[in-house]
Amino acid sequence: MRRFFHYLSGMMLPLLCLLQACGGVEDVRLELSLSEPEVTCDAGSVFARVLSETSWELEIVPPVDWASLQTMSGSGSKNSIILSYSANRGSAARTLTVVATAAGGKATASATLRQGAYVEPAPSGAQGGRAASAPYRWLELPATSAADGMDFLWHMVDVNGKAVRNYSCYWNYSDRVSMWVAYPLCGLYLGSLSRSDAWGFDPFLPAASQQNVGGGYWDGNNGHYDRGHQLPSADRTANYAMNAATFYGTNMTPQKNSFNAGLWASLESKVRDWSRSSDTLYVVTGCVLDGAKYYALDRASNKITAPAAYYKAVLRYAPSSSTGLGHSGYMGCAVWMEHKETASSAKMDKTYSMSIDALEQKLGIDLFVNLPDKVGKSVADQIEAEDPQKISWWW
């Protein structure tokens, strides 16, 4: 009997090994991904990546005439298969799916590419650029430096045949956000247009150095974030081009929805109200990265730092004001808000405000650096030292 069991064991062991080997054949590894799953309306290409230990075939489903694959079959892992696509001149976004099938049909994987709808180009005359420091002395600008590794970008827009400034920003390459966005706000910029939602790349910065904002952020290390404007879309409604530029990645930071749609939106609305009772507001909207520990991922899986706090500094000009407020027609207000979840009913009030001097001390930044040249140093000092909590006009 013992010999029988030894015989049976000797027969079963090879059989079990054979069954295990057969089971391993069924567990075919096959993965497929695209380097950028969402692209703009312009022609271009992305990389398809196949992870596999066997041979495979690729196809585009459904077949389209606006995209093609450099390679349709292969074996093992491939990292740089080019998926080329033509420009989308239609008014709607379009998609395709790349499907990978392992030899014998034992496994499949897929990845989807979405190409945005055609975006109307800015009118002729619109322009802008990029420099290591600000080449202009606009009143809304903070100080810049050619030695800090950040770049100054500015955007112009055509209004009635004249190029006027839309906004400027100070780009932080490592965190992929603008440290601040500065802009004038007056009736010239306000009209009746609705949001363009023309999400895209800033034309004055290499795409690889900025945010890929199309389609929203992927979750990072702290859940979901909105694409939060620093210059609000609602502050640029006079024509399409000026509004479309507010949807560049250089104007975006990751914001928690309850903050973006609540307390922050209340502040944005308050600033527009101030502008309607002024000649011009000169506004700096900025983000604070000191203490930031969270991030979102853009559509190219780049880490985008979520700011720890935000601020606005506002310089009001009203030369014909009968209120007797201000100095040489100017008065200032600064606001600081921690970036955190807030109640949907939260509203901006004067408790968030401080003098421009106080905000400069918190930030270590010289805001409105060109104001002394406009009104003189002593008057500029008075404007920046004034406590807005004690001036009822603001509230």
Q: What per-residue confidence (pLDDT) applies to 204?
A: 93
- Among residues 346, 331, 319, 309, the alpha carbon closest in space to that of 394 is found at 331
Distance CA 251, CA 244 (A): 11
CATH number for the region 30-115 comes to 2.60.40.10
Geometric angle at alpha carbon 219, from 215 and 225, rounded to 5°: 70
Report which residue type is found at 173. Answer: Y
**197-223: buried (b, 16+ CB within 10 Å) or exposed (e) per residue?**
ebbbbbbbbebeebbbbbbebbebeee
Query: Cis (ω within 30 of 0) for the bond into 232?
Result: no
For the chain, give every domain's residue range.
30-115, 128-394
CATH number for the region 128-394 comes to 3.40.570.10
Both tokens of residue 291? 């203490």
**Residue 375 in contact with residue 332, Cβ under 8 Å?**
no
**Residue 266 in contact with residue 221, Cβ under 8 Å?**
no
Q: How many CA atoms lie less than 13 Å away from 5 in the CB half-sphere? A: 2
Helix (H) or strand (E) holding 326: none
- Starting at the earlier edge strand, list the strands of the sheet with 108-115: 38-39, 108-115, 94-102, 55-61, 73-75
Per DSSP, what are the bridge partners of residue 56?
Answer: 74, 102
Fold agreement between 30-115 and 128-394 = no
- Written as tens digits, the pLDDT of the chain (395 aa) is 444 444 444 444 444 444 444 444 457 889 999 998 888 788 889 999 999 999 999 999 999 999 999 999 999 999 889 999 998 888 677 999 999 999 888 899 999 998 877 655 544 445 899 999 999 999 999 999 999 999 999 999 999 989 999 999 999 999 999 999 999 999 999 999 999 999 999 999 999 999 998 889 999 999 999 999 999 999 999 999 999 999 999 999 999 999 999 999 999 999 999 999 999 999 999 999 999 999 999 999 999 999 999 999 999 999 876 567 889 999 999 999 999 998 878 899 999 999 999 999 999 999 999 999 999 999 999 999 999 999 999 99
DSSP string, 63-86: --SSEEES-SEEES-EEEEEEEE-
